[in-house]
Every structure is written in structure tokens, then in C-alpha cells.
Amino acid sequence: MSKQPLLEVKNLKQYFPIKGGVLGRTVNHVKAVDDISFEVYEGETVSIVGESGCGKSTTGRAILRLDEPTAGEVNFDGEDLLSLNKSKMREKRKDLQIIFQDPYASLNPRQTVGQIIEEVLKIQNIGTSSKDRREKIISLLETVGIGAHQVDRYPHEFSGGQRQRIGIARALSVNPKLIICDEAVSALDVSIQAQVLNLLKELQRKFQLTYLFISHDLGVVRHISDRIIVMYLGKVVEISDTQSLFENPQHPYTRALLSAIPSMNFEEEKRERIILTGDVPSPIDPPKGCRFHTRCPYKMERCAIEEPVLNSVSDGQRVACHLVEKGAVDYTKIPVNS
């Protein structure tokens, strides 16, 4: 890992306006992503986890400028993507690719697999002749485990897992540096999901890829990530290396999230489960202070007033919580509010 990050997100904000009233003016904003910062280094896999509405997918889209962010910086390879003009940005997209959850929706049903990939190659001016491109397409498809004889088939002739492989091949076709995987394996059956996860890992080794992996599935995330970002209601609450996050989670929300996952482990004694009450508050009018305080079992008075900042609790683990401002704590010794 080099010292210089490949991707550096600084104070990124994504507010979506809400229109209302008689004149249809902007009356409020959905603060989908509200001032977040993080880095991704070359060759690593960083995951963003959180529940629906936490802003994880919005973050991915904002980095690629699929939605124009409200404010902030996205430095990629030393350049601020948000300051590029349209044609420069299009060129840059060669280095940043995205794979979506629903491979079927992102593949044009009227194009064969070969045409789908060739289109991308043409846009990015890759390959000299159509024969040259065809060879490249076939080798790409073989890389992701799809046979050369299937190159002229249409997306509906493939299964869900194969379609996701096609999506991956399309992303790979332009030799990107960073691939954003937005719930890329969430729609797949377990046995197929494992195959695709292994493929992603293999491709990373082979092509020195960097992944920004967006997922709600903590099992998948533990398996694939080097580092993990936990988001809640548009904010980053914890950034940590994978092992520390799962073995010693420090933010109360991370702890609740982990403990809520039904465990398949029968050997282990049943853990004490933290069941959060209520729903996630609205991102239109998020709670003051710490956004998690309305559901937090360890809530203190200042949590409702003062917003905590990310604070290093150990090497490679940063947490935004007043409880841990003086370093990591042993949660078994802290009483839970009733």
C-alpha cells in the first residue's frame, strides 16, 4: 500500500432538494450524505456498510458524479473529480467503474453480450479494429468464467450469477483502477454469491484492482474487505480495519448492527443481543448532536447536543462517539440505559 491514497473523499455532501408548497420551491433537503471523509489506498478493498438510507449507495454514485454532489472534494489519482468538465470526466470514468446490484437492469436487453462490451471499448477508444476488439472481448469473458461460445447471446439467456459476471467483464474492459461494487452480490443466491466473491478477489490479485465495496451484508464484507466504513444516517460513525471492527467494534451502532445478525453458530453460547428500538430517523430532519442518540443504549446528555467527530481509538480504528473519545472502551463494563 502506498502512502498516497488512490481515492480521497473530503467533506462530501449530497443533499437532495425536496420541493413543496404552492410554488414548488425547495422547502427542505434530504441530507443523504452529510460531510463524510475517507481514503482508499491502491490495491485495497474498502467497504461501506450500513442500513438502507444511511447514504452508502449515494456516496458511491456521488464519487462517480452519477448524481452531482452538493459539496466536497473527490480526489482520485491526484485530481479533484468534482472540478473536471464533462469531457474530462468521461475520460476519467475509464479508471473508475461501477457494478450494480441488479445486473439485468444494467444490461441492455437488445444487445448481445459482445455488443455490450464492445460499446464500452469503443467509447473509450480501446482496440484498433473490430477483430482486435472481438479478441479482447472473448478474453475478458473467459477471465470472468464465460465461454467464448456465449459471446453472441443476449442477457436474458444467462442466469443471475452469469449476468453479474458479464457486468464485471464490462467494468474490467477499460482496465479501471477502481471498481465500485454497489451491492454487487446482494441479489445472488448463496452458492452463486460465493463464486462471484471469489472471482472478485481473484481479479483483484490479477489486475491490482482497488475496490470500494458497498454492501449491507456484514458476512460478505468481513470476507472481502481490508478496511470498513460504517455509516449511519449520512455520517461515518466508524472506520476500522476489518479484524478490529468485527472483534472489537467501538461505536454503539456498529455493535448493535453486528449483534443483530442472526448467528449460525451453535457451539458458541447465545450472545447478549442488542435490539435497537424504533426506526432510523428521517434524513430530512436528522437528530441534533450524535445522529444515533435517539436509539443508542448508551446515550449521555451531551450526545443530544454535541456532534462527535471521528477520533482515533487505536491504530487503524477511528470512531465518532463521545464514549470513546479517550480511547477504546470495554463495553461489558458500561451500564446500558433503560
Partner 1 sequence: MSKSNNNILEVKNLCTSFFTDEGEVKAVDGVDFFIEKGKTVGIVGESGSGKSITSLSILRLIQEPAGKIVNGEIIFKGENLLEKSKKEMRAIRGNNISMIFQEPMTSLNPTMTCGEQIAESIRIHQKLSRKEAKEKAIEMLKLVGIPSPEKRVKQYPFELSGGMRQRVMIAIALACNPELLIADEPTTALDVTIQAQILDLIRKLQKELGTSLMIITHDLGVVAEMCETVAVMYCGKIVEYADVKTILTNPKHPYTIGLLNSVPRHDQHYEGDLPVIKGSVPSPFNLPKGCRFATRCPHARDICHNQLPELKTMDDGNQVRCWIHTDVWEKQEEEVASNS
Partner 2 sequence: MLTFIIRRFLQIIPVMIGVTLAVFLMMHLIPGDPAQIMAGERADEAQVEQMRENLGLNDPLHEQYLRYVGNAIQGDLGTSIRTNRPVVNEIFDSRIWITIELAFWGTVLAVIFGLIAGIISATRKYSFADVSLMIVALFGMSMPNFWLGIMLIYFFSVNLGWFPIVGWESWKHMVLPVITIGSGGAAIIARMTRSSMLEVLDNDYIRTAHAKGVSERLVVYKHALRNALIPVVTVVGLQFGTLLGGAVITETVFAVNGIGRLVVDAIKARDFPMVQGAILVCAVAFVLVNFLVDIAYRLINKRIDLN
Binding site for partner 1 (CB under 8 A): 51-52, 159, 161-162, 189-195, 197-198, 201-202, 216-224, 243, 246-247, 256-268, 273, 275-277, 279-280
- Least distance in Å: CB of 18 to partner 2? 9
Q: Dihedral of the CA atoms 16, 19, 25, 31 (nearest 10)?
A: -30
Of 22-30, 77-85, 87-95, 285-293, which segment contacts partner 2 by CB under 8 A?
A: 22-30
Residue 19 interacts with partner 2 (CB under 8 A)?
Answer: yes
Q: Which of residues 1, 4, 11, 20 is near partner 2 by CB under 8 A?
A: 20
State which residue, 23 or 264, has the beta carbon closest to partner 2: 23
Residues 317 and 221: their CA atoms lie apart, in Å, by 16
- Least distance in Å: CB of 32 to partner 2? 18
Residues 38 and 324: their CA atoms lie apart, in Å, by 20
State which residue, 263 or 312, has the beta carbon closest to partner 1: 263
Residues 257 and 242: their CA atoms lie apart, in Å, by 15
State which residue, 30 or 117, has the beta carbon closest to partner 2: 30
Residue given cell 445522529 in the structure block: 291
C-alpha count within 13 angstroms, C-beta hemisphere, residue 249: 17
Residue 22 interacts with partner 2 (CB under 8 A)?
Answer: yes
Q: In a 3-state reduction of DSSP, which class is residue 158?
A: coil
Would strands 235-241 and 317-319 be described as parallel, antiparallel, or unpaired? antiparallel
State which residue, 1 or 284, has the beta carbon closest to partner 2: 284
Residue 25 interacts with partner 2 (CB under 8 A)?
Answer: no
State which residue, 165 or 318, has the beta carbon closest to partner 1: 165
Other CB atoms closer than 10 Å to residue 22's CB: what's the count?
A: 5
- Least distance in Å: CB of 194 to partner 1? 4
C-alpha count within 13 angstroms, C-beta hemisphere, residue 67: 18
State which residue, 18 or 123, has the beta carbon closest to partner 2: 18
* Residue 81 site contact among partner 2, partner 1, none (CB < 5 to 8 Å, cut-off depends on kind): none
State which residue, 23 or 190, has the beta carbon closest to partner 2: 23
7-20 sheet: strands from edge to edge? 25-40, 7-20, 71-76, 79-80
* Residue 265 site contact among partner 1, partner 2, none (CB < 5 to 8 Å, cut-off depends on kind): partner 1
* Residue 51 site contact among partner 1, partner 2, none (CB < 5 to 8 Å, cut-off depends on kind): partner 1
Q: Which of residues 2, 3, 23, 338 is near partner 2 by CB under 8 A?
A: 23
In sequence order, which residues have a C-beta less than 8 Å from that of residue 104 and are 6 or more positions away? 155, 156, 160, 163
DSSP readout, 195-248?
HHHHHHHHHHHHHT-EEEEEES-HHHHHHH-SEEEEEETTEEEEEEEHHHHHHS
Residue 282 interacts with partner 2 (CB under 8 A)?
Answer: no
Residues near partner 2 (CB under 8 A) are: 19-24
